[in-house]
């Protein structure tokens, strides 16, 4: 199986993505690493443990990561917390009640845990699934450049291919919450990255009728989460992070195009915007030669395949 690390801030859609990963024999989840994002760090970490216990996979280690974005806890981030709570609910897992407990935090920091896995791994043998602000990964890239060649590819949910936002008109949450980290990660030439942005994940909605397929106890818990998930559109609830795992399982779920991605880190209205410059024809953009590395940026979602892979697997969990 493909060996993956999931960096996450669960989060209703993170929870579904984690469930899909553990439901899939093609993937071996080596660790969950947590970060501040949808919820504060303790809540994200508690939810990661709650999920693994629900999925009967408590043997998967959870390593606790960054408590603050690289760019600091700016006033707008603090002000945004209420908005995020409305999306993912007070527990962070939507309509699923979660027992209040303080999870253990006695293992290595997320960055050390990732570095430890990479240090032992063969070149290009570990896939990183990034479902949250990119703080932990940016720290990893800075502290452990010597281990980065063990990474096969980073698949990230974040930013957007066409510049549409959800926190602001031009910025998607995971990049907006730590633009400095996103910029650091996206400019690292040693690591291949696929970026699945909001413009694509907004198309990945599950409808009330889709949820009827989920009848096992775990399926019902996933349904309960979604019923408290505030991100609801005309065609259902877009499960952003799930697209990343679905694309690992079936590479026809998304199509990508090579593009450079520049993150706006200035303090101002465009903070967190991802400017994607798609390659035209077969040559690299002339004005970028040697500067930003190209990324595989998602440009298309096959929604039927997405729903098939997600529902067929989660309905059996
Ligand atoms: C992203 O933000 C979070 O709220 C979701 O979990 C997802 O990772 C979507 O913008
Ligand atoms: Ca997330």
pLDDT one-digit tens code per residue, 35-49: 999 888 999 999 999
State which residues of the chain have pLDDT below 70: 281-290
Find the 38 Cα to ligand 2 centroid distance in Å. Answer: 7
Pocket-forming residues, ligand 1, beta carbon under 6 Å: 11, 13-14, 38, 87, 131-132, 157, 166, 172-174, 198, 240-241
pTM, two decimal places: 0.96
Backbone angles phi, psi at 218, to 5 degrees: -70, -40
- Give whole-number Cα distances, 286 to 22, 161, 263, 292, in Å: 43, 20, 19, 12
pLDDT at 282: 59
Q: Is 276 exposed, middle or buried (0-12, 13-18, 19+ CB in 10 A)?
A: buried
Residue of 158, 174, 237, 244 to test ligand 1 pocket, by largest number of atoms within 8 Å of CB = 174
Residue of 158, 197, 205, 226 to test ligand 1 pocket, by largest number of atoms within 8 Å of CB = 158
The number of helix segments (H) and strand segments (E) in the chain equals 12, 11
DSSP 150: G
Looking at this predicted complex, what is its ipTM?
0.99
Secondary structure of residue 83 in the 3-state scheme: helix
Asked if 7 and 65 touch (Cβ cutoff 8 Å), the reply is yes
Which runs of consecutive H residues, i.e. helices, occur in the chain? Answer: 12-22, 41-54, 75-88, 110-120, 135-143, 173-176, 179-186, 198-201, 208-211, 217-227, 240-249, 303-314
Report which protein residue has its CA nearest ligand 1's atom 10: 173
Query: 55-61 long-range CB contacts below 8 Å, 24 or more apart?
Result: 55/18, 55/19, 55/22, 55/218, 55/317, 57/22, 57/29, 60/22, 60/29, 60/30, 60/31, 60/32, 61/30, 61/31, 61/32, 61/107, 61/113
Question: Is 240 an active-site residue?
Answer: yes
Q: What is the pLDDT of residues 219-276, one digit of tens each?
A: 999 999 999 998 999 999 999 999 999 999 999 999 999 999 999 999 999 999 999 9
pLDDT at 81: 82
- Give the distance from CA 103 to its chain's centroid: 21
- Give the distance from CA 92 to its chain's centroid: 15
Asked if 10 and 46 touch (Cβ cutoff 8 Å), the reply is no
Find the 282 Cα to ligand 2 centroid distance in Å. Answer: 34
Distance CA 137, CA 189 (A): 14
Asked if 285 and 260 touch (Cβ cutoff 8 Å), the reply is yes
Asked if 182 and 274 touch (Cβ cutoff 8 Å), the reply is yes
Residue 190's closest CA among 234, 240, 146, 230? Answer: 146
pLDDT at 285: 55
């Amino acid at each position: 199986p493909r060996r993956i690390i999931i960096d996450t801030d669960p989060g209703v859609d993170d929870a579904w993505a984690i469930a899909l990963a553990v439901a899939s024999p093609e993937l071996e989840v080596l660790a969950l690493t947590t970060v501040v994002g949808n919820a504060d760090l303790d809540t994200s970490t508690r939810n990661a443990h709650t999920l693994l216990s629900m999925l009967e996979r408590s043997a998967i280690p959870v390593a606790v990561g960054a408590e603050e974005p690289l760019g600091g806890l700016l006033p707008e981030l603090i002000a945004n917390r209420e908005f995020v709570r409305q999306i993912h609910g007070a527990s962070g897992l939507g309509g699923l009640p979660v027992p209040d407990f303080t999870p253990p935090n006695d293992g290595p920091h997320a960055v050390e845990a990732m570095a430890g896995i990479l240090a032992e791994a063969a070149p290009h043998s570990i896939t990183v699934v990034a479902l949250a602000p990119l703080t932990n990964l940016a720290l990893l890239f800075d502290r452990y450049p010597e281990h980065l060649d063990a990474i096969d590819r980073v698949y990230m949910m974040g930013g957007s291919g066409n510049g549409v936002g959800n926190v602001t008109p031009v910025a998607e949450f995971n990049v907006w919450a730590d633009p400095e980290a996103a910029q650091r990660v996206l400019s690292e030439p040693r690591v291949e990255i696929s970026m699945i942005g909001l413009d694509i994940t907004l198309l990945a909605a599950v409808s009330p009728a889709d949820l009827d397929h989920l009848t096992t106890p775990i399926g019902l818990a996933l349904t309960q989460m979604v019923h408290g998930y505030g991100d609801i559109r005309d065609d259902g609830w877009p499960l952003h992070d799930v697209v990343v795992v679905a694309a690992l399982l079936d590479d026809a779920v998304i199509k990508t195009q090579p593009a450079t991605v520049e993150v706006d880190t200035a303090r101002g209205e465009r903070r967190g915007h991802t400017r994607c410059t798609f390659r035209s024809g077969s040559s690299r953009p002339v004005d970028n030669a040697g500067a930003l590395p190209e990324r595989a940026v998602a440009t298309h979602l096959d929604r039927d395949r997405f729903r098939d892979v997600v529902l067929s697997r989660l309905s059996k969990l």
